[in-house]
């Protein structure tokens, strides 16, 4: 636990002992300056702890009369789920609050747990190691996420200040009918109708500098799927290469290697001949539907290996560069297969 968080909790314990504590006394007990004590008190107020300021010669701070921290009754499984959820949320970008909010929440849970359970959970957290730790995910501001979520729930328009990815982060004011919030791969998105552009758009929340709910209401379109809309917008974003493939298999089979955020998969009624005459594709063992696959990519080098891992007949419609890369991978695999240990 970081030292500032620990001191804030220590301040709460001192105030819970009762009576009025002077700023000088608290500063001495915490080993900080008086300005820092006042900042810690503000943290407690932000957490809805009713700290009162008492003026006068013997003034200072005290908890509101009658206030008691509520007991937290959790089983071992529940406590472990809460703490692991806070850790996983912070690493995956699902925790929207920035700074030490996740740490303070975990510290508050730990503080009210029985000592036996607290030590056991600490042993789990201290011994836990994540493989391939991700980069620090971009986190939306709580002041942005909460009003947009409220606007989605109550079908209210919202004004946002958005910084575009290109053009040096050019900022613009947008009015949006928000249809839904989506969390995908460590990022938060809001999708809806952009009244400024007159079309449906998707925006990353970490690029939104401010959000304000506007008067009025709207009716979302029936059957609209926010998650599908976000995945489609990611798959069709402008990239250097536009790839079109025909792959023998259902959409569900193909998406095991090419998810919705990477490719648009459409099942067709094609046979091997109409798909490009893939030799032996419609044998009794390998017969099945064909699908059209569209991909936008900045680089193509990763795609031949993914196609090989599908282990299904496919036809490259475009670009020719991808066909050359697939042939190159096949040659390297054949060369490796012919090698012997000698």
Identify whether the C-beta of residue 193 lies closer than 8 Å to the C-beta of residue 179: yes
Q: How confident is the model at residue 315 (pLDDT cuts 50, 70, 90)?
A: very high
The domain locations on the chain are 3-63, 76-127, 142-220, 241-337
Rounded average pLDDT over 195-200: 87
pLDDT of residue 66: 63
Same fold, 3-63 and 241-337: no
Ranges of beta strands (E only) in 196-275 are 199-204, 208-213, 241-248, 263-268
Among residues 179, 140, 141, which one has the least CA distance to residue 157? 179
Q: What is the fold of 241-337?
A: Alpha-Beta Plaits (3.30.70)
Q: How confident is the model at residue 1 (pLDDT cuts 50, 70, 90)?
A: very low
pLDDT of residue 137: 61
pLDDT of residue 91: 64
Identify whether the C-beta of residue 89 lies closer than 8 Å to the C-beta of residue 95: yes
Residue reference for tokens 């499984």: 77
pLDDT of residue 134: 54
pTM of the model: 0.50
pLDDT of residue 78: 76
Cα–Cα distances in angstroms (integers) from residue 68 to residues 71, 75, 87, 246, in the given order: 9, 22, 28, 66
Instruction: Give exposure, 286-310, as e/b (b: 16+ Cβ within 10 Å).
Output: eeeebbbbebbbeebeebbeebeeb
Question: Class of the 3-63 domain?
Answer: mainly alpha
Output the CATH code of domain 142-220. Answer: 2.30.30.520
More confident position, 327 or 19: 327
Percent of the chain beyond pLDDT 70?
Answer: 80
User: What are the pLDDT digits (tens) for 151-195?
Assistant: 998 999 999 998 876 545 578 888 999 999 888 777 888 999 999
- Pairing of the two strands 263-268 and 60-63: unpaired
Q: How confident is the model at residue 83 (pLDDT cuts 50, 70, 90)?
A: confident
* Partners of 294 in beta bridges: 244, 264
Residue 55: how many other CB atoms lie within 10 Å? 7
pLDDT of residue 317: 94
More confident position, 71 or 270: 270
User: What are the pLDDT digits (tens) for 214-264?
Assistant: 999 999 888 888 888 888 877 776 677 889 999 999 989 998 888 887 888
Mean pLDDT of the chain: 80
pLDDT of residue 296: 83
Half-sphere exposure of 114 (CA within 13 A, CB side): 7
């Amino acid at each position: 636990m970081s030292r500032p968080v620990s001191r804030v909790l220590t301040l709460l314990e001192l105030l819970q002992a009762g009576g009025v504590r002077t700023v000088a006394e608290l500063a001495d007990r915490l080993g900080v300056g008086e300005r820092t004590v006042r900042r810690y008190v503000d943290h407690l107020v932000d957490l809805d702890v009713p700290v009162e300021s008492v003026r006068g010669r013997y003034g200072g701070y005290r908890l509101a009369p009658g206030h008691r921290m509520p007991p937290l009754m959790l089983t071992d499984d529940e406590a472990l789920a809460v703490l692991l959820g806070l850790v996983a949320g912070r690493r995956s970008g699902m925790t929207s609050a920035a700074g030490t909010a996740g740490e303070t929440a975990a510290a508050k849970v730990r503080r009210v747990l029985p000592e036996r359970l607290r030590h056991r959970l600490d042993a789990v957290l201290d011994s836990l190691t994540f493989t391939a730790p991700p980069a620090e995910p971009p986190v939306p501001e709580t002041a942005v996420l909460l009003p947009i979520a409220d606007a989605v729930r109550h079908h209210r328009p919202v004004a946002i200040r958005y910084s575009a990815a290109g053009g040096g982060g050019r900022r613009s004011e947008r009015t949006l009918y928000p249809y839904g919030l989506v969390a995908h791969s460590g990022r938060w998105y809001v999708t809806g109708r952009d009244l400024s552009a007159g079309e449906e758009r998707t925006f990353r929340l970490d690029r939104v500098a401010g959000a304000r709910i506007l008067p009025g209401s709207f009716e979302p379109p029936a059957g609209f799927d926010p998650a599908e809309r976000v995945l489609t917008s990611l798959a069709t974003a402008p990239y250097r290469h536009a790839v079109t493939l025909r792959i023998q298999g259902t959409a569900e089979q193909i998406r095991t290697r090419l998810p919705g955020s990477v490719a648009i998969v459409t099942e067709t009624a094609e046979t091997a001949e109409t798909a490009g005459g893939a030799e032996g594709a419609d044998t009794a063992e390998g017969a099945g539907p064909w699908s059209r696959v569209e991909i936008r990519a900045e680089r193509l080098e990763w795609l031949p290996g993914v196609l090989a891992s599908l282990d299904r007949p496919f036809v490259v419609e475009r670009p020719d560069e991808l066909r050359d890369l697939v042939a190159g991978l096949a040659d390297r695999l054949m060369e490796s297969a012919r090698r012997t240990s000698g």
